[in-house]
Amino acid sequence: MINSILASAFGDWLPDRASTLAPRVDAIFWALVAASTALVIGLLVANLYFLIRYRRGSGAPRPPLRISTSVIETVWISATTIGFLGVFFWGARVYLFAERPPAGALEINVVGRQWMWDVRHENGRREFNEVHVPLGEDVRVILSSEDVIHSFFIPAFRVKQDAVPGRQVSIWFHATKTGTFHLFCAEYCGTAHSGMVGDIVVMSPEAYADWLTRGNTIEGLAQRGRRLFLRYNCSGCHDQPAAVHAPSLGGLFGTLVPTSDGRRVRADELYLRDSILRPEKDITAGYEPLMPSFQNVIPESDLLDLISYIKSLPATNSSPNPLPP
C-alpha cells in the first residue's frame, strides 16, 4: 500500500518486486524517503518564514518566551527518540524476517568462484550462472566461495549476501512473480567481476519439477556426498560400528552437541563445515581430538555435498553423540 502510494508520488524507478521480502524492504525505504522529505521541506519553510518575519528592522512583536526551553527540549528529544526507535524496530522486524529461513525450505547449493556461480539442486541437477526456482515456495540458497569474496545479489528479490571463503551462509526468498531476473556478483572479485552475472528463472512449481528431471542430473547431492564420504575415508571412523571411536553422525544435524570444554554448539551447516576443516575447534565431549583437518584437501563443492549427505542421515537408535557415562 505505502509502496504504491509513494511510488506514484516519486515514480517507481526501483527494480521489480518479485519476492515476499521486496515490498517490506521498499516500504521502509519509501517511508524513510517520505519522512526525510517532509522534514527537509518543513525546516526549510520554517527557516524562510522566520528569516523574513524577524529580519532586522521588522516590526514583528518579540514577546518573552512563555514556556521554558527545557519543556520544548524535552518534548522534541522524546518525540524524535520515539520516532527513531520506531524506525529501528520496524527495520529489525524486516531484518529478522529476512534472516530466518522458514523450516522446510527447498535448498539449493551455490558456490561462487572466479568468475561464475556454480549451482546445484537437491537431486543433483547442476547449472552455471542461472538459478531456476519455483514460484510460491520458500527457497534457501546455501552459499560458499571457492576463492575470494563474492556477493550473491538478486535486486528484484532484495536479497544480497556475501559468499566468504571458509564460511557457509544462507539466504532465503519466496518468489512471487514468474519471469527472469538479474543475478549479480556485488563484490569486486577480480578482473572479470563485471562479467559474473546471471539469471534467476522463476517457474511454476510444475515447470520447475519437470525442469529438475531434465538435463545433466547424474546423482543427488546426498548420494554424491555418500560416495565422497567413502572416498575421503570419513566412513572409516564415522560409519558405525567403526574400529575408531568417533561420533556417529546419524540424526546429528540441528541438535545441540556438548563439547569437551563444556559448551553446547548447534550442529548447523557451519558447524559441520568447521568440524571437517578445523576439527580441533569443537571437540565433542567424550572423544579424543584424533580427526585430521581436511582443509585444502576437500574442494568446496565436495564439501557442500558431504554436508548434504550428513544432513540427510536419519537418527540411529543410539543418540547421535552420546555422552560417556
Binding site for ligand CUA (CB under 6 A): 112, 115, 150, 185, 187-189, 193, 196
List the grid coordinates of 63: 514577546
Sign of the alpha-carbon torsion through 39, 44, 47, 53: negative
Q: Give the nearest distance from C-beta 160 to ligand CUA in angstroms.
A: 12
Q: Give the nearest distance from C-beta 117 to ligand CUA in angstroms.
A: 8
CB-nearer residue toward ligand CUA: 112 or 220: 112
CB-nearer residue toward ligand CUA: 165 or 251: 165
CB-nearer residue toward ligand CUA: 185 or 272: 185
Q: Give the nearest distance from C-beta 113 to ligand CUA in angstroms.
A: 8
Q: Which residues pair with 188 in a beta bridge?
A: none
Contact 148/117 with Cβ under 8 angstroms? no
CB-nearer residue toward ligand CUA: 115 or 172: 115
Q: Give the nearest distance from C-beta 187 to ligand CUA in angstroms.
A: 5
Q: Give the nearest distance from C-beta 143 to ligand CUA in angstroms.
A: 12
CB-nearer residue toward ligand CUA: 134 or 198: 198
List the grid coordinates of 300: 568446496
CB-nearer residue toward ligand CUA: 24 or 150: 150
How many other β-carbons are positioned within 10 Å of the β-carbon of residue 139?
Answer: 22
d(CA 110, CA 14): 26
Q: Give the nearest distance from C-beta 180 to ligand CUA in angstroms.
A: 20
Q: Give the nearest distance from C-beta 194 to ligand CUA in angstroms.
A: 8
Any residues with CB less than 8 A from the CB of 242 and at least 6 apart, and which? 235, 236
Nearest 5 degrees, angle CA 135-CA 140-CA 143?
A: 130
Residue 17: is it exposed, middle or buried by C-beta count within 10 angstroms (0-12/13-18/19+)? Answer: buried
Sign of the alpha-carbon torsion through 259, 261, 266, 268: negative
List the grid coordinates of 288: 579424543
CB-nearer residue toward ligand CUA: 185 or 306: 185
CB-nearer residue toward ligand CUA: 121 or 193: 193
Label residues 209-236 b or e (16+ Cβ within 10 Å = b): eebbeeeeeeebbbbbbbebbeebebee
Nearest 5 degrees, angle CA 280-CA 284-CA 288?
A: 65
Residue of 69, 136, 77, 129 lying closest to 102 (CA atoms): 136
Q: Give the nearest distance from C-beta 148 to ligand CUA in angstroms.
A: 7
